[in-house]
């Protein structure tokens, strides 16, 4: 088939990102031609501010050089401005006569700086701040002249002013509003910002309206305000806003309303013509930050690649000011309004100001000045629209996990030296990450993971990696959106996949992929295990488990080790064993030359370093059930000795633990599940950091849920107090079943609880007695007749091929 | 001199899975895709020697079980942005049997 012709007008950040996505999805579908009015290949416009400030060079900020276009077979017309779209003949024409035909056209023409309609705005020395050309002119002026005036005290204006100051000019910022960045900041924060900028030597004239720019011999010499005051100026930078560049679209009769109007699939009124980036008006909004533009690009590419499933539904944005030494972050609606409440921390002397705006128990907006460490976290809460009722009392103090494993704050990230290790699991230093971000033009956490492996293992350094991204990129970094697809094979979210499986009674992985139009023929290592779990948990006894869609540990029912051997952890109910059992373990260890025998942190015994071929034999000889130490499943139920032996014990915690373990044994779950039972509040089995923790008291049992002792310690929350052991089983079983049915794959109980809220769970487990009983019954039904996987493999020859090597 | 050696019946290798073949003390991973192509290579990940045969097979790639590096089954090359390569071993199917050239 002959490839279709795809033409793009505008060679900027949004457009080229769209092409990258198209090439990823459908590399051969189009023959691509790009027109760019600027004489440069694609560069990181955001970084013009550090270039102006002398902190980076143009070479540093190139994202795609001309070789990239060549390697991808793209015809690139640089320095050619398109002036006409002939929609009838589907051709675009550039100023110099170059033309190109299209089957599909992308408009990515960006914005134009707004120029104040005052006398003298065309004088030599009056510039805007938009592209490399503008920056060159400013750098040149800084060499020759002294007085710079920046009109506009917004993000762009302040970055321009800072850059010119760094280049040695005497800079005055003129702003029409009463305080700086009035669209992003409230007055208190703005005053603090102004003070620190003044300390850097900038001057400010606020509440000033420019009347005229005065000049001599065609060159600017000063500024006159409407109130008559005059100041000298050799350079005037207009940074008073941008307007979507719709000229070309309008001249072609494409509907525009402030921006080029597009629908949720990024199509304009001419269905062959798409538009992305700052030139667009989507649902009445135009965006001026790259994060939403990249989201648009992704959706547009999906449709161009004929996948037809992405939708762009708008974005919440956050901003940061890229002035070295100043930490400023704002997001969402921080202005307040009816029904909102504010939490404010104000320490002007200490240089810290934070304001959080809440509405209906959700975070609506945030302004942080002086300490922006938690910006990413607040932004995530904001976008997810998650209830913060439960964490309200410490919300202001930020994401509390400030610890050794990396969550140390962005100031720290910026201050870290390049050799300092960020990701302990993969041995990645800060320098590697910064280099990867710069060299490969990375923008998201996932990109960094793919290129460096940092934070791709245990994830505990995720916060730090995000902060490094933020410190390198400035405001264009945004944490992952809440509508995250399950994986790269689809645009559907976990919820959507679960719903489809339930509502359409899908019973096998290929069926799910077909129904939801997966992009890959048989998925990937992220989605296959997730779908497999969703299937078996939704339709127990009806769906057949797919071993090939399980990670090796769950496929072989043993933990793979770094040298390719396996470990075996048999179940010891509630941590209780017998001399006979210990003897058997000892004999097995000797018979198979097991190199290491270890008591685990979960009250049982681990045989390490076992060859895969020996697994079935060892299981047969041990004759003990699987401990599922390898699975997203019920792991251990830790117990203490309890009232049977302990002088303080109030309840028989060992028995309770064994009962729980035997009831829920063989339970697959979204993630691993650990339980513990203690006989009194001294809590020797550490029940407070378990997914379900049970603590005996004189009058019965207290049940706690959502604890976690792993990467980030979380203390379990109190769920209920019950009188009998039967109730402990029913309440914990119901809780676990709802978790099994509703959490996302690889979400532990605590993270699921944080997402859905403790109140919801209490309502369903405590208040709705019918619902609780039904959920418990569903769990028992799912577990009924489940076989022990070791027994099946050791004695019944199940999956024999998994353990046999073919020897030639 | 290398020759085609019969190692297994196709149905002895699980679809979207692999078997390990031991030959002259070396372990070879033999993969089978969803469309019943077979590919073989040394059972050693270029990263830290992980057993590729134990990974998840999807499309024409296998993901190493130890640290998740992806290896193309056809050429043994690590999928970008990773680097590294495992030399592939020629494999073919004839009359429902799998042959390797070793
Ligand atoms: C064997 C054991 C260490 C020991 O020698 O004591 C162990 C070993 C492993 N743990 Fe653990 N954990 C062991 C108890 C724990 C505990 C303590 C406990 O259960 O009381 C914790 C903290 C409690 C918790 O989970 O909340 C623990 C928190 C983790 C985590 C972090 C989980 C989290 O959500 O933050 C991981 C990583 C993961 O699961 O993704 C992990 C992962 C692992 C893995 C499976 C890593 C892997 O994927 O290969 C280790 C397997 C080693 C191997 O090669 O066999 N292990 N691990 C313990 C087995 C207990 C058992 O009898 O089953
Ligand atoms: C100094 C500065 C700092 C910034 N800082 C940040 C920040 O910290 N965080 C953030 O998220 N965003 C920031 N931004 C905004 C960000 O750079 C823009 O949102 C983004 O570049 C817009 O991408 P785009 O592709 O829509 O437009 P552009 O990148 O402007 O690309 C449009 C291109 O189309 C070309 N063009 C227009 N018309 C035609 C035509 N008819 N024919 C051919 N070519 C044409 C233009 O010359 C231009 O090269 C900053 C911008 C500037 C200027
Ligand atoms: S056993 Fe647990 S703590 Fe120890 S190295 Fe492995 S994952 Fe880390
Ligand atoms: S050994 Fe294969 S990814 Fe590390």
Counting ligands in written order, the one closest to the CA of A160 is 2
ipTM of the complex: 0.76
What's the rounded mean pLDDT across residues A62-85? 95
Write down the mean pLDDT value for chain A.
Answer: 91
- Within 10 Å of residue A96's Cβ, how many Cβ atoms? 11
B48 lines ligand 4 (CB under 6 A): yes
Confidence bin at A400 (pLDDT 50/70/90): very low
**Residue A152: alpha-carbon gap to chain centroid:** 33
As given in the structure block, the two tokens for residue A112 are 């134009």
B26 lines ligand 4 (CB under 6 A): no
B43 in Cβ contact with B20 (< 8 Å): yes
CA distance B86 to chain A (A): 17
- Within 10 Å of residue A13's Cβ, how many Cβ atoms? 26
Chain B partners within 8 Å of A450 (Cβ): 81
Are residues A806 and B17, on separate chains, in Cβ contact within 8 Å? no
Atom 37 (ligand 2) nearest CA: A109
Looking at residue A460, its pLDDT comes to 64
A251 in Cβ contact with A266 (< 8 Å): no
The DSSP annotation for A232-278 comes to: E-SEEEE-S-EEE--HHHHHTT--EESEEEE-TTSB-SSTTEEE-ST
CATH number of the domain encompassing residue B52: 2.102.10.10
**Residue A297: alpha-carbon gap to chain centroid:** 17
What's the rounded mean pLDDT across residues A791-798? 94
Map tokens 């697959």 to a residue: A668
Which is it for strands B61-63 and B70-72: parallel, antiparallel or unpaired? antiparallel
Strand partners, A256: A260
Looking at residue A121, its pLDDT comes to 95
As given in the structure block, the two tokens for residue A177 are 């509003």
Are residues B56 and A549, on separate chains, in Cβ contact within 8 Å? yes
User: What number does CATH give the domain A4-111+244-304?
Assistant: 3.50.50.60
B69 lines ligand 4 (CB under 6 A): yes
pLDDT top residue among A56 and A224: A224
User: Which segments of chain B have a pLDDT < 50?
Assistant: none
A386 lines ligand 2 (CB under 6 A): no
A546-584: b (≥16 Cβ within 10 Å) or e:
bbbbbbbbbbbbbbbeeebbbbbbbbbbbbbbeeebeeb
Q: Nearest CA to A297 among A66, A630, A25, A114?
A: A25
With residue A204 as reference, give the H or E element that holds it.
strand A203-205
User: What number does CATH give the domain A327-390?
Assistant: 3.30.390.30
Write out pLDDT tens, residues A426-438.
Answer: 778 888 898 888 8
Å from CA of A448 to ligand 2 middle: 23
CATH 3.30.413.10 fits A632-787, yes or no: yes
B71 lines ligand 4 (CB under 6 A): no
Looking at residue A401, its pLDDT comes to 40
- Most confident stretch, A117-131, A380-394, A402-416: A117-131
Domain spans of chain A, in order of start: 4-111+244-304, 126-240, 327-390, 413-476, 494-550, 632-787
- For the CA of A627, the closest atom of ligand 1 is 63
Chain B partners within 8 Å of A530 (Cβ): none
Longest pairwise C-alpha distance within chain B = 38
Å from CA of A472 to ligand 4 middle: 29
User: What number does CATH give the domain A126-240?
Assistant: 3.50.50.60
Are residues A521 and B14, on separate chains, in Cβ contact within 8 Å? no
Counting ligands in written order, the one closest to the CA of A51 is 2
Percent pLDDT > 90 in chain A is 71
Q: What span, in angstroms and rounded, lies between the C-alpha atoms of A446 and A436?
A: 12
Chain B partners within 8 Å of A488 (Cβ): none
Å from CA of B70 to ligand 4 middle: 9
Which is it for strands A104-107 and A4-9: parallel, antiparallel or unpaired? parallel
Map tokens 């179940």 to a residue: A571
| pLDDT for A405 beyond 50 | no
Closest-CA residue in chain A for B13?
A801
Q: Which CATH superfamily is domain A413-476 in?
A: BFD-like [2Fe-2S]-binding domain (1.10.10.1100)
Reported pTM: 0.61
State how many domains chain B has.
1
Chain A partners within 8 Å of B15 (Cβ): 548
Distances (CA, A) of A277 to A114, A259, A540: 17, 10, 47
Looking at residue A1, its pLDDT comes to 67
Would the CATH topology of A4-111+244-304 be identical to that of A126-240?
yes
A130 lines ligand 2 (CB under 6 A): yes
> What secondary structure letter does DSSP report for A680?
S
Å from CA of B37 to ligand 4 middle: 24
Q: What span, in angstroms and rounded, lies between the C-alpha atoms of A466 and A803?
A: 42
Strand partners, A151: A174, A238
Distances (CA, A) of B61 to A358, A489, A532, B97: 47, 14, 19, 22
Looking at residue A325, its pLDDT comes to 73
Write out pLDDT tens, residues A619-669.
Answer: 999 999 999 999 999 999 999 999 999 999 999 999 999 999 999 999 999
As given in the structure block, the two tokens for residue A707 are 């604890």
A51 in Cβ contact with A135 (< 8 Å): yes
Chain B partners within 8 Å of A564 (Cβ): 49-51, 54
With residue A431 as reference, give the H or E element that holds it.
helix A430-440
The domain of B21 spans: 4-101
Q: Nearest CA to A728 among A687, A667, A760?
A: A687
């Amino acid at each position: 088939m002959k490839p279709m012709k795809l033409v793009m007008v505008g060679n900027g950040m949004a457009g080229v990102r769209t092409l990258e996505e198209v090439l990823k999805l459908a590399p051969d579908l189009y023959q691509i031609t790009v027109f760019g009015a600027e004489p440069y290949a694609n560069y990181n416009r955001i970084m013009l501010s550090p270039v102006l400030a002398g902190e980076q060079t143009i070479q540093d900020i190139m994202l795609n050089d001309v070789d990239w276009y060549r390697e991808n077979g793209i015809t690139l017309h640089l320095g050619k401005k398109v002036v006409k779209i002939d929609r009838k003949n589907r051709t675009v024409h550039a100023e110099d006569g170059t033309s190109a035909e299209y089957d599909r056209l992308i408009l990515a023409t960006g914005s134009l700086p707004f120029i104040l309609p005052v006398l003298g705005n065309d004088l030599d020395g009056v510039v805007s701040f938009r592209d490399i050309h503008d920056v060159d002119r400013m750098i040149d002026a800084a060499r020759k002249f002294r007085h710079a005036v920046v009109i506009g005290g917004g993000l762009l204006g302040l970055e321009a002013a800072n850059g010119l100051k760094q280049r040695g000019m005497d800079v005055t910022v003129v702003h029409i509003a009463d305080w700086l960045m009035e669209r992003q900041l409230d007055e208190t924060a703005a005053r603090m910002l102004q003070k620190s900028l003044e300390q850097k030597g900038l001057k400010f004239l606020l509440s000033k309206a420019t009347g005229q720019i005065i000049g001599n011999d065609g060159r600017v010499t000063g500024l006159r305000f409407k109130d008559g005051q005059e100041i000298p100026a050799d350079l005037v930078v207009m940074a008073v806003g941008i307007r979507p560049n719709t000229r070309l679209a309008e001249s072609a009769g494409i509907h525009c309303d402030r921006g080029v109007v597009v629908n949720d699939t990024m199509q304009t009124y001419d269905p062959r013509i798409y538009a992305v980036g700052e030139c667009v008006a989507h649902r009445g909004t135009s965006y001026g930050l790259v994060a939403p533009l990249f989201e648009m690009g992704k959706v547009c590419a999906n449709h161009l690649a004929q996948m037809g499933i992405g939708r762009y539904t708008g974005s919440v944005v956050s901003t940061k000011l890229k002035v070295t030494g100043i930490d400023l972050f704002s997001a969402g609606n921080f202005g307040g309004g009816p029904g909102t409440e504010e939490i404010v921390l104000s320490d002007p002397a200490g240089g810290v100001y934070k304001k959080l705006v809440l509405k209906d128990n959700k975070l609506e907006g945030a302004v942080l000045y002086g300490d922006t460490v938690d910006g990413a976290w607040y932004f995530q809460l904001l976008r997810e629209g998650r209830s913060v009722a439960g964490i309200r009392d410490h919300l202001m103090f930020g994401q509390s996990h400030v610890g050794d494993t990396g969550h140390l704050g962005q100031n720290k990230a910026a201050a870290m030296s390049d050799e300092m290790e960020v990701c302990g699991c993969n041995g990645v230093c800060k320098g590697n990450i910064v280099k990867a971000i710069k060299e490969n033009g990375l923008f998201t956490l996932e990109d960094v993971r793919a290129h460096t492996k940092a934070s791709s293992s245990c994830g505990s350094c995720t916060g730090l990696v995000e902060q490094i991204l933020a410190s390198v990129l400035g405001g264009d970094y945004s944490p992952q959106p809440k509508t995250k697809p399950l994986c790269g094979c689809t645009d559907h979210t976990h919820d959507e996949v679960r719903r489809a499986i339930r509502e359409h009674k899908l019973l096998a992985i290929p069926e799910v992929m077909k129904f939801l139009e997966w992009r890959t023929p048989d998925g990937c290592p992220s989605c296959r295990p997730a779908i497999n779990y969703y299937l078996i948990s939704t339709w127990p006894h009806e769906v057949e488990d797919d071993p090939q869609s399980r990670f090796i540990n769950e496929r072989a029912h043993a933990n793979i080790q770094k040298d390719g051997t396996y470990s075996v952890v048999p179940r010891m109910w509630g941590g209780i064993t017998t001399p006979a059992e210990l003897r058997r373990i000892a004999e097995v260890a000797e018979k198979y030359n097991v190199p290491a025998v270890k008591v685990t942190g979960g009250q049982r015994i681990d045989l390490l370093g076992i060859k895969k071929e020996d697994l079935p034999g060892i299981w047969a000889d041990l004759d003990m059930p699987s401990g599922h130490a390898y699975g997203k499943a019920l792991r251990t139920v830790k117990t203490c000795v309890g009232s049977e032996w302990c002088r303080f014990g109030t309840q028989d915690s060992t028995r309770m633990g064994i009962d729980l373990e035997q009831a829920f044994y063989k339970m697959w779950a979204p993630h691993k599940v650990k339980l513990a039972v203690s006989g009194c509040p001294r809590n020797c089995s550490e029940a407070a950091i378990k997914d379900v923790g049970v603590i005996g008291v004189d009058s019965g049992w207290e049940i706690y849920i959502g604890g976690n002792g792993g990467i980030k310690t979380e203390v379990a929350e109190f769920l209920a107090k019950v009188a009998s052991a039967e109730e402990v089983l029913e309440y914990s079983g119901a809780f676990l079943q709802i978790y099994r049915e509703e959490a996302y794959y690889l979400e532990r109980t605590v993270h699921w609880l944080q997402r859905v809220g403790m109140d919801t769970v209490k309502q369903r487990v405590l208040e709705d007695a019918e619902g609780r009983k039904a959920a418990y019954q569903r769990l028992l039904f799912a577990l009924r007749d489940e076989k022990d996987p070791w027994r099946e493999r050791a004695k019944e020859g199940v999956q024999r091929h998994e353990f046999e090597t073919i020897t030639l | 001199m290398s020759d085609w050696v019969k190692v297994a019946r196709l149905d002895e290798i699980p679809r979207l899975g692999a078997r390990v073949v031991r030959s002259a003390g070396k372990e070879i991973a033999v993969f089978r895709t969803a469309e019943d192509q077979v590919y073989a290579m040394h059972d050693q990940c270029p990263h830290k020697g992980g057993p590729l045969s134990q990974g998840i097979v999807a499309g024409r790639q296998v993901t190493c079980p130890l640290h998740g590096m992806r290896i193309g089954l056809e050429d043994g090359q690590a999928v970008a942005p990773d680097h590294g390569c495992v030399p592939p071993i020629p494999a073919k199917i004839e009359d429902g049997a799998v042959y390797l050239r070793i």
